[in-house]
């Protein structure tokens, strides 16, 4: 059977009440149900439900719809199931990458009198991509010099600490803060120009909060949580470029239950006051990877985002969507992944894959590559973190980029291949009769070395291409 992608679009509506969760599903070859899309339906208006699947067997596939509220009438209309073969799917990605991640760059060489210079020798080196690809790390980074060397050699531009910045790490005992480990990790990455995501300020999961927080009165918990926000965010203010403020607040509600329904909105407001230059993020699991999790479907994620911005003072606050992207050991539903990116990008807010991994299976490397390619090709996604922190002797029970000797695993080969593919190769050439040198390159930082054989002038310039306008980027240079 030829491998295909099937993209589902349907319009749904219910007869009465408030929002109602609905899903679309197929029957797999194991004769079990697999959800391929989930969302909200409303009375009085039609809502788009979008998702899809890749057929795993050459049999006729039935798609059916589920409404989780049996007390209302449920309507489905304008159902479309569009099929793409693998070549068409990948060609769409390549066209999107060329449009979103690359630009035509024109260097214009002129002399002191403003006249164009022909024959200027041009050398162009790509030094840093604009799109972030990073890797998570643990405290073992500070214990192994080879781990540090490995990380820097890879060319990652961002990182996140798996646990070392979390509240239960920095203040396990009440009133006794210890930032020794995260401070050391922070200084290493700052000194090497690696951007750091702050993960996480607070966590709404009850069991991830210290035991002494559970016994507090609402007033005490609020004051203590605000102290925590101020402690960690002020410490690294202006150096952490993104913060997960309240982790997993769609699946859990520790603070809302104890303080009130607007607790998260209030925390985001306080976080922005403390570090106004950082971008604040929500961070959730299963929105991208599991359409069957009706608590985390993209419609609900957008509603949660609206709730954060409805808090007084948050109306214009940039709140990004963090997608943890912990994929199970089965083929990801790539049409659904694309649909989630489409949904969330309609808000014009940034999207990150914050903890991306795939559970171990024979196709782990293949699945990871599919996910990374889809993310890189979507205009709404701004970065991704591979959740592959290393500890000695871990025997690669999850997603690992290298072994204990820091040699690549097949997963490491995939990440290296993609990072190399998404870099502009070194350019060498000469300006034309109009003094122009043109090339297509990825957004990012470049070092230009220019030599005029007539005047013998040599110039080195650093340029940054971050323009999201699809028009060519003109760089005038005087030699």
**Residues designated as active site:** 248, 355
Q: Residue-wise over 185-223: b if at least 16 C-beta within 10 A, else e?
A: bbebbeeeebbbbbbbbbbbeeebbeeebeeeeeeebbe
Q: Residue-wise over 442-477: b if at least 16 C-beta within 10 A, else e?
A: bbbbbebebbbeeeeeeeeeebebeeeeeeebeeeb
Query: Where in 86-131 does DSSP place strands (E)?
Result: 102-110, 121-129
Report the distance separating Cα 171 and Cα 181, nearest Å: 12
Report the distance separating Cα 157 and Cα 163, nearest Å: 20
Angle (CA) 276-385-241 rounded to 5° is 15
Say if residues 75 and 47 touch (Cβ distance below 8 Å). no
Residue-level length of the chain: 479
Task: Taking each helix axis as running N to C, give the angle between helix 263-274 and helix 218-235, from 0 to 180 degrees, rounded to the nearest 10.
Answer: 30
Report the distance separating Cα 102 and Cα 376, nearest Å: 12
Q: Smallest Cα–Cα separation from 412: which of 401, 422, 421, 403?
A: 401
DSSP state of 255: H
Say if residues 56 and 28 touch (Cβ distance below 8 Å). yes
H helical segments located in 198-295: 211-214, 218-235, 254-259, 263-274
């Amino acid at each position: 059977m030829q491998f295909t992608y099937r993209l589902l679009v349907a319009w749904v509506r219910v007869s009465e009440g408030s929002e109602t969760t609905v899903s679309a599903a197929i029957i797999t070859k194991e004769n079990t149900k697999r959800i391929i899309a989930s969302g909200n339906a409303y009375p009085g208006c039609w809502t788009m439900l979008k998702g899809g699947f890749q057929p795993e067997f050459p049999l006729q596939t039935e798609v059916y719809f589920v409404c989780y509220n049996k007390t209302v009438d449920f309507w489905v209309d304008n159902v479309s199931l569009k099929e793409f073969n693998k070549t068409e799917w990948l060609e769409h990605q390549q066209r999107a990458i060329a449009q979103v991640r690359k630009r035509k760059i024109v260097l214009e060489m002129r002399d002191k009198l403003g006249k164009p210079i022909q024959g200027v020798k041009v050398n162009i080196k790509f030094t840093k991509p604009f799109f972030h690809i990073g890797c998570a790390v643990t405290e073992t980074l500070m214990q192994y010099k080879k781990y540090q060397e490995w990380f820097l050699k890879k060319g990652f531009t961002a990182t996140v600490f798996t646990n070392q910045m979390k509240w239960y790490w920095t203040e396990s005992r009440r009133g006794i803060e210890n930032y020794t480990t995260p401070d050391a990790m922070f200084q290493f990455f700052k000194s090497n120009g690696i951007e750091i995501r702050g993960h996480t300020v607070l966590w709404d999961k009850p069991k991830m909060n210290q035991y002494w927080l559970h016994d507090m009165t609402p007033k005490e918990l609020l004051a203590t949580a605000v102290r925590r926000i101020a402690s960690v965010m002020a410490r690294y203010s202006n150096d952490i470029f993104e913060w997960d403020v309240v982790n997993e607040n769609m699946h859990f509600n520790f603070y809302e239950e104890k303080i009130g329904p607007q607790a998260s909105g209030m925390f985001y407001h306080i976080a922005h006051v403390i570090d106004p230059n950082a971008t604040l993020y929500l961070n959730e699991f299963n929105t991208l990877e599991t359409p069957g999790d009706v608590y985390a479907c993209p419609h609900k994620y957008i509603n949660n985002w609206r709730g954060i911005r409805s808090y007084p003072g948050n109306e214009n606050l940039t709140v990004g969507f963090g997608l943890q992207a912990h994929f199970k050991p089965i083929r990801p539903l790539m049409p659904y992944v694309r649909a989630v990116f489409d949904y969330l990008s309609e808000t014009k807010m940034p999207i990150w894959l914050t903890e991306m991994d795939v559970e171990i299976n024979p196709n782990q490397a293949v699945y990871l590559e599919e996910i990374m390619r889809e993310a890189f090709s979507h205009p709404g996604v701004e970065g991704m973190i591979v959740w592959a922190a290393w500890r000695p002797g871990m025997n690669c029970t999850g997603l690992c980029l290298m072994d204990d000797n820091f040699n690549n695993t097949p997963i490491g080969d995939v990440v290296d291949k993609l990072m190399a593919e998404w870099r502009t190769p070194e350019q060498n050439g000469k300006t034309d009769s109009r003094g122009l040198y043109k090339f297509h390159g990825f957004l990012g930082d470049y070092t230009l070395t220019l030599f005029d054989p007539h005047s013998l002038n040599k110039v080195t310039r650093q340029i940054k291409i971050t323009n999201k306008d699809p028009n060519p980027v003109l760089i005038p240079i005087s030699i």
